[in-house]
Chain A
Amino acid sequence: MLQTNLTHILTASGHQKLIEENENVMICCGRMGPMCIPVYGIMEDLEPEYPHVKFADMEFDNPESHPIRNAPECKGFMGIPFTVYYRNGKLVKATSSIQSMPQVKSILDAQFDKKQQ
């Protein structure tokens, strides 16, 4: 299990349940590595600011993470973490490798409208 304070997804069915039960979801799929840890930290810091978004992580090396690793939107990705954003169960944005706070916020603001909550 990843050493973060985020919701941990452990199975493919858990992943499916999470994106079905939450309108807006951001999942970081990675390892406890230098490109991933900063993204988990950003997500932890943003949780209070984005209560309408469910933040979660999943271990990249867990075979159950295949819905993320094999998503068509992640084709060509060759750097962890794979960070995916779902709206109403549909994958709407995916990024590869480390991201900054402004990059993550710009995606959250573009994809998830607070007014609709």
Chain B
Amino acid sequence: MPEIFDIIIIGGGPAGLTAGIYASRARMKTLILNEGTVGGQLVLTHEIANYPGVESTSGFQLGNIMKKQALAFGCKIKSNIQVTAFEYSANPKMVEINGNEQFFGRSVILAPGGEPRMIHVPGEAEFKGRGVSYCATCDGDFFTGKDIVVVGGGNSALEEAVSLTKYARNVAIVHQFDQFQAFPYAVEEAKANPRIKFYMESQVRNIFGDDSVKQVEIEHLPTGDKTMLAVDGIFIFIGYVAKTQGFEKCVHLNDRGEIIVGTEMQTNVPGVFAAGDSIAKRYRQVTTAVADGTIAALSAIEYLRTN
């Protein structure tokens, strides 16, 4: 007879870890299954200065403390796994990992989080780490004195473009719309920077190179005109997408692929809850993920008490 958990949590970011802390502290037999490294997108953040009660810390440190808390309360965690199948409408609910190991739970909390959105053009995957980057802080210094492209029009894109001018000789911002979505202060700072040029209503179509990136092809959307830019790198900051591929088979998603939940973080499937960046909501912060995880865990505990 396989081991049956009270609560299986899919995802080990702030939402999943918080749910794990609350559930295991309530003496629920709890298992977190996490596809990446524990901490999720939290570890993408070098400094967190707006997490209440903590003056300043790194995302890595905060995530590690959350993990320790969950483990201390008896939560089991399996990281770097791949969820290969699931059946959430059954009772108990089943999650299969790595194609060969099945876990069963009386309830499930979905907290898979999000991942950086890619532009999906030829050359993007081929040149990842050879000129294509998603992290200015990590890779900016490789582009000292070089020319680069930044893709995006939100706060991250504009702030990182300005930050990259510390290293790069010239930065070209490519944005698909005629206006930026970033806050006015970020737009003003970018526009005031003499090293930044703007390609509005444009999209990257191809990335070319040999050992590393050498050229980027840009299309001006209103005219269809294509321009080749000789650059050494391309940084992509076009937001995040919910990691819910395949979930449409079991829970209701909106048109952006985000899980639709009620106020108690319940999905349309009894006993299945969701939390964090993968749910349909407006604000995505560590604090909101933690709040979602708390509510989802308490709701799952209540569900198990009454069912």
Chain B positions within 8 Å of A, measured between CB atoms, are 36-39, 43-46, 58-60, 79-82, 128-135, 137-139, 142-143, 210-213, 232-233
Contact = CB atoms under 8 A, between A and B. Distances in A.
Given A34-B44, A45-B79, A102-B82, A78 B37 contact: no
A75 interface: yes
Interface string A35-53: 1111011100100000000
The 5 closest A-B pairs by CB, nearest first: A96-B129, A97-B129, A76-B211, A41-B37, A79-B129
Contacts of B82: 101-102
Given A34-B137, A78-B213, A96-B130, 20 more contacts: A3-B60, A34-B45, A34-B46, A36-B138, A37-B43, A37-B60, A41-B36, A45-B79, A77-B130, A78-B129, A78-B142, A78-B143, A78-B233, A79-B128, A79-B133, A79-B138, A96-B129, A97-B133, A97-B139, A101-B82
Contacts, number: 81
Which secondary structure dominates chain A's binding surface? loop
Nearest to A42: B80
Nearest to B146: A78
14 contacts: A3-B60, A31-B138, A33-B135, A34-B46, A34-B138, A37-B37, A37-B39, A42-B37, A76-B211, A78-B129, A78-B131, A79-B130, A97-B139, A102-B82
Interface of A: 3, 31-38, 40-42, 45, 75-80, 95-98, 101-102
A78 B233 CA distance: 8
A101 B139 CA distance: 22
Contacts of A38: 36-37, 43
B138 A35 contact: yes
A78 to B, nearest CB: 4
Contact of A34 (B38, B43, B81, B211): B43
Contact of A80 (B44, B139, B143): B139
Q: For B82, B129, B137, B232, which residue has the most chain A Cβ atoms within 10 angstroms?
A: B129
